[in-house]
Amino acid sequence: MRNVMVALISLGLASAAASVQAKELASNDRYICSWGAGTAARAQELKLSGVSLYAARQKLHTYKFSKPWMHMMAMGITEQTYDSHSRMKPAALRESFYEECVRYKLARK
How many domains does the chain fold into? 1
- Say what percent of the chain tops pLDDT 70: 79
Angle at 53 between CA 75 and CA 40, to 5 degrees: 50
CA nearest neighbour of 18 among 30, 10, 28: 10
- pLDDT mean over 18-47: 85
- Domain membership of residue 73 (yes or no) is yes
Does 86 reside within a domain? yes
Q: Give the pLDDT of residue 109.
A: 79
SS (H, E, C) 17-51: HHHHHHHHCCHHHHHHHHHHHHHHHHHHHHHHCCC
Interaxial angle between packed helices 27-48 and 53-62, expressed in degrees from 0 to 180 and rounded to the nearest 10: 130
Task: Report yes or no on 19 lying in a domain.
Answer: no
> What value does the mean pLDDT take over residues 77-99?
96
Average of per-residue pLDDT across 74-84: 96
Instruction: Please report, as a single letter, which amino acid is at residue 41.
Output: A
Look at residue 3 and tell me if it is in a domain.
no
Residue 29 lies in a domain: yes
Write down the pLDDT at residue 25: 85
Q: Is the pLDDT of residue 16 over 60?
A: no
**Tens digits of per-residue pLDDT, 42-71?**
999 999 999 999 999 999 999 999 999 999
Residue 51 main-chain phi, psi, to 5 deg: -75, 135
Q: Which domain covers residue 52, as residue numbers?
A: 25-108
Is residue 8 one of the residues assigned to a domain?
Answer: no
Asked if the structure places residue 20 within a domain, the reply is no
